[in-house]
């Protein structure tokens, strides 16, 4: 039956492209209040499409933007079909800066075999691959190969503030699923499909150093009283040693180096440090010594300053001793690290190294652990076969440096493991101008999704 | 005659206050291009006021903002009157952060016996004390007690980039002056007038660290490529040792500790570290070990970060690896240090300690040496008497932590020594929100300036 579905998918390329463009045309920017109506429209569009595939789809109200929740009604799948959960998000990042786009962000435009639009890859385009695959199954087979629950979120790009509540409220309908499918990652490279089996956690702080009660003249007061910007720099300058290692005591205590087999597998991946450096326009890459660039991204914890603000920031010179200095700072964690313990160790270390004459305030904005997902399981085996069927190649197993908190939440709240299988490419310009999805990746994504549900349906 | 002038000054308090407010209402912020017209207006206002005192006043064009140059025409002073030069600046620091002002910075507002406005003390308020004194002399005596040349600059707060050229071009008119009077310093404390005999020099840099060619996702790229904000912090965190000493090689090479007599004199001044700390709202003062707070301000070089900018500075969390990070940074120098050599040593050290993977750009915005001025001379004797007459007390002799490069330039270019006699107080919030000048300091300043010209006119 899958063969007929795949033929149908190929025959209807222009239909899928038309529908994708319609979905991408809705500017569902979750961060901006003026797009509230568009967010609602995008949710309704997705629900409508799911209904076309035979699912029972409703909008679930939250304190913020709605979720789309769809399930297979009686008769749309075998009664004994495995229960599979698909999660995606229909909201997108703001398109700004608009002047850097070569075509309008909400008018999907095909150039050089690529579909350019905000959301083309993250995540509307990849979600749509699943919607199209389900529609094709329904059209050809009159049923779906799995019992399916689809959960589409409208707040992923603003930190999923209401998703845990939705999961908790719908636990009854979700908990019996054996596997969570997510297509919000990427292939490793063009022609190298990837299953992502590890994500880093995130601890985020805002740090405010305060010296005197007002900005002071740096001539009159310089040397007499602590300068908040000097003190902040003194603190931040001590957070790495000269090997690029984080100096927070205990930071690496439980961190394990991946086994030789995994390191060897990663080394074999088609990744070229020189090309990567050239793409980023840096003379050389930089990070913790003793690890490859992929290892530093995938299995080493890091500490990064995300923002700095203090004193005079305008043109020219102003001789001021800043009264306050602020840093935004995040740590990416690996699975062996306890997010709360790391956060506490960080706080204690900062207070210990804060120079005399200033006060430091630490605001913890998030603390979520890393996640590892299985690399062997019936669902993973199904995903591997789906890649071969839909993309013509076995996938490699990789990790991601970023965080997808929903993976952790489904595991912790409902005990469900995830399979992270993306169709896009690493150069899709996520969160940036000229986001795109390669046309061939798009059709391969529909095929792969169709094959994935086929194989998942045959799991014992 | 001085007595009549002083009576007139007292009688016309409301006139002086009105005129001062008018001068302060012009937002003559030299650092900001949008205030170019205001700078011009402030220069014209001052020239107009000087004409009212009988002087011949013109605006001198420069490559930047104009200077006001005024001289006594024939008949406005005795032919044999000593030639005195008065220097001040009519430009002001930016008023930001505006939200910390308790009244609008360019609407002078009197509260608790203080005039709050940007420039109230630095330097428009103090310059105006001289303008008012001259107007009073002209009104009462129909002449001035000295042959006077007034030079008002519009670029002092941006490092006086064009002043040397103005001095050079007008050397003929300036060189015959015996003394340069400047009121751009402060009294030592309330009721303790001071003559300043030492100023620190200033070397100012803008430092820009650049990593990748765009901001990157801190999850995906964190650990893989240098973070400009991390690198900047690493650099800045190495500029002081744990004794508060600057680590730039050679920084202290020629720096001398003042002799025991001078240190003892400074120790005898009415300065209380605990009160000073309390005033600044800090638990303890902070700076180089081994020196008193006054010594650290007056005779020790320092390095201060004046501003920091990088990455995300809005509310909440954004997980970004900043592509660039910028610091504003200044060093205050003491007389034994060569400003250019220190600047070069600094640049070389920064390049040496810059981590791999980033580029650093250093823009030198100013480099001027420290200055020492005489503490005994006929002009100093005149200033001492003027303090007794106008402020009711003999002055103490102090140094200042700040920089007034013009002192060095007049000495080096024309051989003219300066007398630094300020009317404001150390808590005037120079360069900071809520800058103020005490109302009584203002009127005492006018009296003192009137008396100063009287005594200078009687010098042999």
* Residue B415: CATH number of its domain: 3.40.630.10
Residue B109 in domain = yes
Residues B69 and B190 in one domain: yes
Interacting residues of A272 by C-beta distance below 8 A, sequence separation 6+:
none
For residue B146, the model assigns a pLDDT of: 98
Residues of chain B positioned with their CB less than 8 A from the CB of A305: 227, 229-230, 233, 310-311, 322, 325
| Option in B286, B303, B316 nearest A225 (CB) | B286
How far from chain centre, in Å, is Cα B235?
28
What are the angstrom distances between the C-alpha of B128 and each of B125, B153, B449?
5, 13, 10
- Longest Cα–Cα distance in chain A: 83
Cα distance between residue A343 and residue A351, in whole Å: 12
pLDDT category of residue B10 using cuts at 50, 70 and 90: very high
For residue B209, the model assigns a pLDDT of: 98
Residues of chain B positioned with their CB less than 8 A from the CB of A282: 211-213, 225-226, 357-358
Instruction: Tell me if B317 and A232 make a contact (CB, 8 A cut-off).
Output: no
H/E run at residue A209 = strand A201-210
For residue B120, the model assigns a pLDDT of: 98
Residue B265 in domain = no
Joined together, the tokens standing for residue B218 give 């801190």
Last residue of a domain, one of A341, A368, A395: A368
Q: How many CB atoms lie within 10 A of CB A56?
A: 14
ipTM over 0.85: no
Domain count across chain B: 2
Cα distance between residue A283 and residue A277, in whole Å: 7
For residue A81, the model assigns a pLDDT of: 97
For residue B159, the model assigns a pLDDT of: 83
pLDDT tens figures, B226-237: 999 999 999 999
**Sheet with A436-438: strands ordered across:** A109-111, A114-116, A436-438
Nearest to B6 by CA among B379, B456, B452, B457: B452
Residue B155 in domain = yes
Nearest to B312 by CA among A321, A428, A205: A205
Cα distance between residue A69 and residue A223, in whole Å: 62
Residues A315 and A450 in one domain: no
Residues of chain A positioned with their CB less than 8 A from the CB of B219: 200, 202, 332, 400-403
Cα distance between residue A242 and residue B226, in whole Å: 13
Residues of chain B positioned with their CB less than 8 A from the CB of A330: 218, 222, 317, 319
CA angle A244–A247–A251, rounded 5-degree value: 105
Which chain A residue shows the shortest CA-CA distance from B322?
Answer: A306
pLDDT tens figures, A188-238: 999 999 999 999 999 999 999 999 998 988 888 888 999 999 999 999 999
Last residue of a domain, one of B324, B343, B368: B368
Cα distance between residue A247 and residue A240, in whole Å: 5
Residues B221 and B181 in one domain: no
Q: What is the CATH number of the domain that holds B312?
A: 3.30.70.360
Residue A89 in domain = yes
Residues B101 and B32 in one domain: yes
Residues B393 and B348 in one domain: no
CB A126 within 8 A of CB A183: yes
Residues B335 and B212 in one domain: yes
Instruction: Tell me if B310 and A313 make a contact (CB, 8 A cut-off).
Output: no
Last residue of a domain, one of B336, B368, B400: B368
Instruction: Tell me if B310 and A308 make a contact (CB, 8 A cut-off).
Output: yes
Instruction: Tell me if B307 and A328 make a contact (CB, 8 A cut-off).
Output: no
Residues of chain A positioned with their CB less than 8 A from the CB of B355: 286
pLDDT category of residue B429 using cuts at 50, 70 and 90: very high
Residues B363 and B378 in one domain: no
| Option in A226, A238, A308 nearest B286 (CB) | A226
The Cα of A63 is separated from the nearest Cα of chain B by a number of Å equal to: 19
Residue B290 in domain = no
How far from chain centre, in Å, is Cα B38?
20
Residue A274 in domain = no
Joined together, the tokens standing for residue A223 give 């040397």
CB A86 within 8 A of CB A421: no
Residues B16 and B99 in one domain: yes
Domain residue limits at B229: 203-255+301-368
For residue A318, the model assigns a pLDDT of: 86
Residues facing residue A57 across a β-bridge:
A70
Instruction: Tell me if B308 and A311 make a contact (CB, 8 A cut-off).
Output: yes
Residue B273 in domain = no
Residues B209 and B190 in one domain: no
Residue B264 in domain = no
Residues B214 and B361 in one domain: yes
Give φ, ψ of B252 to 5 degrees: -100, 10
Burial B28-39 (b: 16+ CB within 10 A, else e): bbbbbeebeebb
Cα distance between residue B437 and residue A19, in whole Å: 70
Residues A48 and A71 in one domain: yes
User: pLDDT (tens digit, 0 to 9) for every residue of chain A, 460 residues total?
Assistant: 999 999 999 999 999 999 999 999 999 999 889 999 999 999 999 999 999 999 999 999 999 999 999 999 999 999 999 999 999 999 999 898 888 899 999 999 999 999 999 999 999 999 999 999 999 999 999 999 999 999 999 999 888 999 999 999 999 999 999 999 999 999 999 999 999 999 999 999 999 999 999 898 888 888 899 999 999 999 999 999 999 999 999 999 999 998 999 899 999 999 999 999 998 999 999 999 999 999 999 999 999 999 999 999 988 888 899 999 999 999 999 989 999 999 999 999 999 999 999 999 999 988 888 998 988 999 999 999 999 999 999 999 999 888 888 999 999 999 999 999 999 998 899 888 899 999 999 999 999 999 999 999 999 7
Instruction: Tell me if B219 and A365 make a contact (CB, 8 A cut-off).
Output: no
Residues B38 and B114 in one domain: yes
SS3 A275: helix
């Amino acid at each position: 039956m899958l063969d007929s579905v795949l033929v149908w998918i190929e025959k209807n390329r222009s239909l899928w492209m038309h529908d994708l463009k319609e979905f991408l045309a809705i500017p569902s920017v979750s961060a901006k209040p003026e797009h509230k109506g568009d967010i609602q429209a995008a949710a309704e569009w997705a629900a409508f499409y799911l209904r076309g595939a035979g699912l029972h789809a409703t909008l679930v109200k939250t304190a913020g933007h709605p979720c789309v929740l769809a399930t297979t009604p009686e008769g749309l799948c075998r009664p004994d079909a495995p229960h599979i959960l698909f999660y995606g998000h229909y909201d997108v990042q703001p398109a700004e800066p608009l002047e850097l786009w070569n075509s309008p962000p909400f008018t999907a435009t095909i150039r050089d075999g690529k579909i350019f639009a905000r959301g083309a890859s993250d995540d509307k385009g990849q979600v749509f691959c699943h919607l199209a695959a389900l529609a094709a199954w329904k059209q050809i087979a009159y049923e779906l190969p799995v019992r399916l629950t689809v959960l589409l979120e409208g707040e992923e790009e603003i930190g999923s503030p209401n998703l845990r509540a939705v999961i908790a409220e719908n636990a009854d309908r979700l908990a019996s699923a054996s596997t969570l499918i997510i297509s919000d990652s990427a292939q490793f490279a063009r022609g190298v499909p990837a299953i992502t089996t590890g994500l880093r956690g995130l601890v985020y702080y805002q740090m405010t150093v305060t010296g005197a009660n007002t900005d002071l003249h740096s001539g009159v007061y310089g040397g007499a009283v602590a300068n908040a910007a000097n003190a902040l720099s003194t603190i931040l300058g001590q957070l790495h040693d000269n090997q690029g290692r984080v100096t927070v005591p205990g930071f690496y205590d439980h961190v394990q180096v991946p086994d030789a087999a995994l390191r060897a597998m990663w080394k074999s991946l088609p990744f070229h440090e020189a090309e990567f450096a050239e793409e980023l326009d840096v003379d050389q890459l930089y990070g913790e010594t003793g690890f490859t660039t992929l290892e530093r991204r995938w299995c080493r914890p890091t500490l990064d300053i995300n923002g700095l603000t203090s004193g005079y920031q305008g043109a020219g010179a102003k001789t001021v001793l800043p009264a306050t200095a602020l840093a935004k700072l995040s740590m990416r964690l690996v699975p062996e690290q306890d997010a709360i313990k790391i956060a506490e160790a960080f706080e204690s270390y900062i207070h210990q190294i804060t120079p005399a004459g200033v006060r430091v305030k630490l605001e913890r904005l998030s603390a979520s652990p890393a996640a590892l997902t299985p690399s062997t399981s019936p669902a993973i085996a199904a995903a591997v076969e789906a890649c071969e069927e839909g993309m013509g190649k076995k996938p490699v197993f990789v990790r991601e440096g970023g965080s997808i908190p929903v993976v952790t939440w489904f595991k912790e709240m409902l005990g469900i493991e995830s399979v992270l299988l993306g169709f896009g490419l690493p150069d899709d310009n996520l969160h940036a101008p000229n986001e795109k999805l390669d046309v061939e990746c798009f059709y391969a994504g529909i095929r792969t999704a169709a094959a994935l549900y086929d194989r998942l349906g045959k799991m014992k």
